[in-house]
A and B are shown apart, each in its own frame.
Chain A
Amino acid sequence: MICYLFHEPSYLFFTPDVPELLYYSHIPVAILSLFVGLFIFFNARKILLNKLLLFISFLFSSWIFLNLIAWTNIHSDYLLFIWPFFGVISAFISIFSIYFIYVFLEEKEPSLKIKVSFFILLAPVLIFAPTNLNLSGFNLTNCDAFGFEGLLFKFYYILIGIIGMVWIAFLLFTHYRNAKTDFKKQILLMGVGMESFLFFFFTITFLASYLAGIGFFKDSRMEMYGLFGMAVFMVFIAILMTKFKTFSVGLIASNGLVIALIVLISSQYTFISSKVGITLTSITLVLTSLTGIVLIRSEKRSLQRKAN
């Protein structure tokens, strides 16, 4: 069935029927998280912590990609097919965040008991996601399924998010007390980054879809603000990577800053519509990239001189 009041998107998810901030809140943060995840993974592939960070980045970017399709696609069958993925991916993000923090703190795999408890928490989400307990129908006029979402299922995967946040806070707190000063700083940075990511993501996306479901808001545009928590988390990951070499990546701070600047400037393309705006942003982007290359080269040379 086609949502008869909306336009068919071009290039998968580009259409005029969306909030102005949609692309700005989605595309840059997805690229940033995927870039950081891939960068860390390809610098030290065998480290479990890096694999887990890549997996979390991949899950988060997939959620964003599917969310963009949900905002813009007009075919009820495709929309309903991707709708159950939101609950599943959210639950996976929460559980694998606990896994990630566990490996960060203990530097080893969790025990089988912990893995089994992860599975017990995730299995009901996967089993019930395609059933009426999660989704029973679709509103062709509004082009969404908010009014047909099962609250029990929704509360369950949000509960997994809360369990994740509490579990992570407990792990961080217990390890913080006995850690050395240097590791204490890393725990603090990782803890604030991860908790703010999970808190913003779960709280705001839940409130947005719940309030849209009961008709308080006409759509779930509020959820866009829930994605910025990931950007905060990535900033903390970058600090851990450059200052503490947490992920065994040999990146110097200036490289990280230059990359962050380029990503931030490029993200402006997602909301600029005027020709003047596009031209000015392109000039700024080229100048910043050139300055960045010069800065990185001179930093490399001075490091080589120091080494000699």
Chain B
Amino acid sequence: MKFKEHFLLYTLIPLSILFVAASYVRFIVTYDYMVTYEADCNPDEQSCFIGCLDDECTEEYYYYNITKEASNLNKQCGKDITDCENAYICLEDDQDSCVITYCQPELGDLECAHYKSLDTI
């Protein structure tokens, strides 16, 4: 009778505890997720995305995107990647999980700075 009366309490509370524990372990303990960020790009050497420094886009900057596993990045640079050179290149221990993405108009990227086809980069 009690179970019927408090059915939602008895079922949802354990499931909610499991949900919180799983989220905690995945995101805070093991860093089991990908991180992506922008890296400075030289338009004379690479095909770069164009970003804006303000809403009116009076000043532009050039970047490429880099994606890595958070656990690897944490080992390589710690919590702050600002002055960490390893954050902006793919290392051996990144294996296949590290991806650098340059601007490619043929894949739908609208504006690229000093674009050269990927074969020439």
Q: Which residues of A contact B15 (CB under 8 A)?
A: 122-123, 126-127
B16's closest neighbor in chain A, by CB?
A126
Interface string of B80-110 (1 = CB under 8 A from A): 1110000000000000000000000000000
Contact B80 A137 (CB under 8 A): no
The main secondary structure of chain A at its interface with chain B is helix
Contact B8 A119 (CB under 8 A): yes
Q: How large is the interface on B (under 10, 10 to 19, 20 to 34, 35 or more residues)?
A: 20 to 34
Query: In the complex, A88 Cα to B23 Cα: how many Å?
Result: 12
Known contacts A4-B81, A4-B82, A77-B28; is-contact A116 B7 (Cβ 8 Å): yes
Contact A136 B33 (CB under 8 A): yes
Among A14-22, A78-86, A185-193, A248-256, the stretch that binds chain B is A78-86
Contact B33 A135 (CB under 8 A): yes
Q: Spell out B's residues near A (CB within 8 Å).
A: 4-5, 7-8, 11-12, 15-16, 18-19, 22-24, 26-28, 31, 33-38, 67, 70, 73-74, 79-82
Q: Which of A2, A80, A123, A140 contacts B27 (CB 8 A)?
A: A80
Q: Which residues of A contact B81 (CB under 8 A)?
A: 1-2, 4, 140
Contact A109 B12 (CB under 8 A): no
Contact B7 A115 (CB under 8 A): yes
Q: Spell out A's residues near B (CB within 8 Å).
A: 1-2, 4, 75-78, 80-81, 84, 88, 109, 112, 115-116, 118-119, 122-123, 126-127, 129-130, 135-141, 147-148
Q: Which residues of B contact A109 (CB under 8 A)?
A: 5
Q: Which of B16, B22, B28, B73 contacts A78 (CB 8 A)?
A: B28
Contact B8 A137 (CB under 8 A): no
B9's closest neighbor in chain A, by CB?
A115
Known contacts A84-B23, A115-B8, A129-B23; is-contact A140 B36 (Cβ 8 Å): yes
- The minimal Cβ–Cβ distance linking B68 to chain A, given in whole angstroms, is 10
Query: In the complex, A81 Cα to B12 Cα: how many Å?
Result: 19
- The minimal Cβ–Cβ distance linking A77 to chain B, given in whole angstroms, is 5
Q: Which of A1, A84, A130 contacts B73 (CB 8 A)?
A: A1
